Amino acid sequence: MSEPVFTTRQIDTDRPSYVLQASITGGSGKSMASLLNPSGSGKKLCVRALLIQPRSSSGTNVIVTYETRAITAHSGGSAFTPLKRDSADDASVAQAKTEPSSVTGTTNIHTFILQSNTVQGIYVHRFGSWGERPIVLREGEGICIHQVTSNAGSFDITLIWTEEAP
């Protein structure tokens, strides 16, 4: 019997988990958010989920293409303190940014599209479901959510990850 598309199963109960959640104005060729596991962290980050929801749109029936890209560095933008899902957990080792102005690395590891003409649509991907592994970020590795096609609307972006021994 196959696993249902949506389950109530928790992402991971025995590992510290963290969230980056921000509202960001879109734009063609724009890096929306990035997550980097710095060298010397002593951890690996396992990206478990990505959610994107339109908040407003600049057009009707606009299809927006996004890529999850592998990166090795990011700069500029706004530093974001990851939120802990359990207050007893240590602070995250991750370096998180919203709207980084520069990222090093452009290898696309995941493409997805979202129709943004209403605020009713939402994109949800649980990495590690359906027989695939989560996106594993070892020291010096990261990801960037990159908007490929244009829409000047605003979007809520959520990344959820766990941190564990390498």
Full 3-state SS string of the chain: CCCCCCCCCCCCCCCCEEEEEEEEECCCCEEEEEEEECCCCCCEEEEEEEEEEEEECCCCCCEEEEEEEEECEEECCEEECCEECCCCCCCCCCEEEECCCEEECCEEEEEEEEECCCCCCCEEEECCCCCCCCEEECCCEEEEEEECCCCCCEEEEEEEEEEECC
Instruction: Give the domain CATH number at 91.
Output: 2.60.120
Give domain status of residue 2, yes or no: no
- Encoding tokens for residue 26? 């879109």
Spatial distance between the Cα atoms of 133 and 116, rounded to a whole number of angstroms: 28
Spatial distance between the Cα atoms of 165 and 76, rounded to a whole number of angstroms: 29
Give domain status of residue 95, yes or no: yes
Give the residue with greater pLDDT, 56 vs 100: 100
Name the pTM for this structure.
0.84
Range of the domain at 105: 17-164
Total tally of structural domains belonging to the chain: 1
- Encoding tokens for residue 163? 């941190």
In this model, does residue 5 exceed pLDDT 60? no
Give domain status of residue 6, yes or no: no
Give domain status of residue 3, yes or no: no
Give domain status of residue 4, yes or no: no
- pLDDT score of 136: 94
At 112-122, the pLDDT tens digits run 877 765 555 66
Give domain status of residue 52, yes or no: yes
Give domain status of residue 8, yes or no: no
Rounded to the nearest integer, the mean pLDDT of the chain is 83
Give domain status of residue 43, yes or no: yes
- pLDDT score of 1: 39
Spatial distance between the Cα atoms of 92 and 72, rounded to a whole number of angstroms: 18
